[in-house]
Amino acid sequence: MNETKTNTQPQRGIQKLSLSVIMTVVVVTVVLLACCVGITAYLRIYQASVEDNAVTSSEQAVRQVLSTLENYTKDIEEIMGMIRTNMRKEESGKNDFMTNLIAIRKDVVLITEYDNDGNLTSCWQGGNKLKEKILKNLSYMEIPAGEENVYISSPHVESLIENDYPWVVTIAQRMQNHEGKEVLICMDIRFSNIAGYVDNVGIGQHGYCFIMDEKGALVYHPQQQLIHAGLKNENQELLVGRGDGSFLQGEVIYTIHSLDNNDWKIVGVSYVDEMITNKLDEMAKIIGFVFIFMILATLLVGIISSKMVSSPINKLMGAMQQFEMDAENFEFCRVNGTREITALSDSFGHMVVQIQGLMEQVRREEITLRKTELNALQAQINPHFLYNTLDSIAWMCEEGRTKEAIIMVNALARLFRISISRGHELITIEKECQHAESYLKIQKYRYKNKFTYQFEIEQECLGYFCNKITLQPIIENAINHGLDMCDEGVIHIGVKKQGEDILMYVEDNGVGMEEERCREILHRESSDRTGIGIKNVNDRIRIYFGEKYGLHIESELDVGTRVEIRIPGIQEEIQAGV
């Protein structure tokens, strides 16, 4: 009976898992088929809608501009007809008509009269003043004698009026004056009215209309400043020779219509990807149905997969994230689910136990190693300092200065009493400064007062802790190597608060050293005889507080050296590496 139950349970787990895979494949297949059908229908309707809307909107916009310009040009032609009628009157009557016309029609800038040789015979400019010297008459159009049609020029700047340069087009026609002679009448019309008609017409969000002549030259373009600057290019060559109507070029739809009374063409430019307004409701319904279907199918798949797979996997993932954040204190609870998830959960639990054991072992070994390193460095620096101090005392005894030698021995005893510090690595900055001052007193005897020293210590820093025997090796190096060749040496020792850290520094006015030498001192191996004290101070600080703390040396030849010691601001003793 037990054997039968053991064999049956795994089989049920396999059947259940297989059914999940089958259902997932079926649901995903249905969703994919529905998406394919919906996207296909969408693309077909989209394409048809884009083409219909683009052509219709472009045609309407161009015809609107065409109708407006045709009405405007017909109005201008009627004005030219009235001018033709009044040209047959006497000079005074003609002048009165021209003056009143310019006063009434604000879009008429200037009316000029020329003989058959092109000489300017009369000019009506309203209240404007003509230029005394005309460099080039842009308002004059050469029309063959006997020609009676009305001609319209391309836009140009008015060149006859002084201190006024409106953008105009010239309307020209040959007429008979009151004497029966043929003359050329040119009327300059402000082009701003025509430009306003074109600018106010848009096709979609970025579509527009522009005017060109039958040769492809631009008469007016709403973005002509960009075209003149070379920032935009309009392919007029593509449009030359084409009849009225619409055609598709890439993603752009062009619509062309010609004016009946001149050689201008109105061109509409629209973009396929913008023209989807008429079919928007239909597309929204199709997309909505597809979207709802996809949501329902996705929810169904999500519910099934969550019950069978997702929920236990999420629990296992959460346990792994908690383990990553706090591996040491993590307690794992087994996650139940399918056979594979349960096996994975058991493997993870076993791994957690092993990693926590290894972490504890590494932590104990690291603490032991750091204590050993600190002890080794301390053992190295103490004999180094003792050797130099005893050498000074021996030298004084040889000179017969026994009283001074006794004072130095007492000072040395005080030094070692502070340096021992009952076995503690950290002492207060106050005691460290006393230690440094005792050492300086000893060395002043040895060097016969060849140097002076001064302390600059912020009172709030005295209670903070630092590594013992931190300042003495740096002062020793300043005396032995920095002030050795200096007649009047000065050593400045300072301690100050800098943010959350404590900055201690030792400055001297000695011979200084090169930048490469400064780097060598901090990285010198312990087998070297010179600079062992400074390197050990740097190593001890970094072992105790981390790589961001330690020594920094700045020096300049024949100026002096500054050694900065940065340590964290702590007010109680801590253990190394903990």
Do residues 236 and 216 lie in contact, with contact meaning Cβ atoms separated by under 8 Å? yes
| pLDDT at residue 235 is higher than 60 | yes
Residue 75 has pLDDT above 80, yes or no: yes
Classify residue 313: in a domain, yes or no: no
- State pLDDT tens for residues 115-151: 888 888 888 888 888 888 888 888 888 888 777 788 8
Q: Confirm whether 8 is domain-assigned.
A: no
Q: Mean pLDDT across the stretch 442-446?
A: 75
399-439 pLDDT, tens digit each = 787 887 787 788 777 777 766 666 677 889 998 898 888 88
Give the CA dihedral 47, 51, 53, 57, nearest 10 degrees: 150
**Among 237, 259, 292, which residue terminates a domain?**
292
* Of 136-150, 197-211, 292-306, 320-334, minimum mean pLDDT range: 292-306
Indicate whether 361 belongs to any domain: no
Tokens for 321, please give them: 């994230």
Q: In terms of domains, do 385 and 285 share one?
A: no
Query: pLDDT tier at 525 (50, 70, 90 boundaries)?
Result: low
pLDDT exceeds 50 at position 7: no
Percent of the chain whose predicted confidence (pLDDT) is above 90: 9
Q: How many other CB atoms sit within 10 Å of the CB of residue 467?
A: 22
Residue 451 in this model has a pLDDT that exceeds 80: yes
> Which residue(s) pair with 564 in the sheet?
505, 552
Give the confidence band of 514 by pLDDT, cuts at 50, 70, 90: confident
Q: Which of 283, 223, 265, 249 is nearest to 54 (CA)?
A: 249
Residue 492 lies in a domain: yes
Helix (H) or strand (E) holding 37: helix 2-87
Give pLDDT, residue 6: 41
| Enclosing domain of residue 403 | 381-568
Q: Which of 267-276, 493-502, 506-515 has the highest mean pLDDT?
A: 493-502
Q: Hey, how many other C-beta atoms are within 10 angstroms of the C-beta on 375?
A: 11
Domain boundary among 244, 272, 292: 292
Q: Are 346 and 333 in contact (CB under 8 A)?
A: no
Tokens standing for 316?
């296992």
With 50 as the cut, is the pLDDT of residue 529 above it?
no
- d(CA 121, CA 99) in angstroms, rounded, equals 16
The strand pair at 245-249 and 218-220 is best described as unpaired
> CA 419 to CA 219: how far, in whole Å?
96
Q: How sure is the predictor about 496, in pLDDT bands with cuts at 50, 70 and 90?
A: very high
Query: How is residue 149 written in tokens?
Result: 């049609």
Q: Domain ends where: 259, 292, 325?
A: 292
The CATH number assigned to the domain holding 493 equals 3.30.565.10
The verdict on residue 364 lying in a domain is no
- Rounded mean pLDDT of 249-258? 84
Instruction: Give the DSSP letter string of 513-559.
Output: --HHHHHHHHH--TTSSSSHHHHHHHHHHHHHH-TT-EEEEEEETTT
Residue 564 has pLDDT above 90, yes or no: yes
Given a cut of 70, is residue 548 above it in pLDDT?
yes
Indicate if 45 and 151 belong to the same structural domain: yes
Average the pLDDT over 198-209 and give the result.
Answer: 80
pLDDT tens for 42-73 read: 767 766 766 777 677 788 888 888 888 888 88
Mean pLDDT of 512-525: 81
Residue 166 placed within a domain: yes
Tell me, yes or no, whether 273 and 396 share the same domain.
Answer: no
Q: How far apart are CA 214 and CA 234, in angstroms?
A: 15
- Residue 427 covered by a domain: yes
Number of domains in the chain: 2
pLDDT of amino acid 12: 41
Q: Do 404 and 268 belong to one domain?
A: no
pLDDT of amino acid 10: 42
- Of the candidates 571, 550, 545, 543, the residue with the CA atom closest to the CA atom of residue 504: 550
Tell me how far the alpha carbon of residue 269 is from its chain's centroid.
Answer: 35
Q: Would you say the C-alpha torsion 541, 544, 547, 549 has a positive or negative sign? A: negative
- Confidence check: pLDDT of 504 > 90: yes
Report CA-CA distances (Å) from 111 to 116, 169, 558: 17, 12, 90
- 518 in a structural domain: yes
Instruction: Check whether residue 285 and residue 425 sit in a common domain.
Output: no
Residue 123: enclosing H or E segment and its boundaries? strand 120-124
Most confident option among 54-68, 377-391, 543-557: 543-557
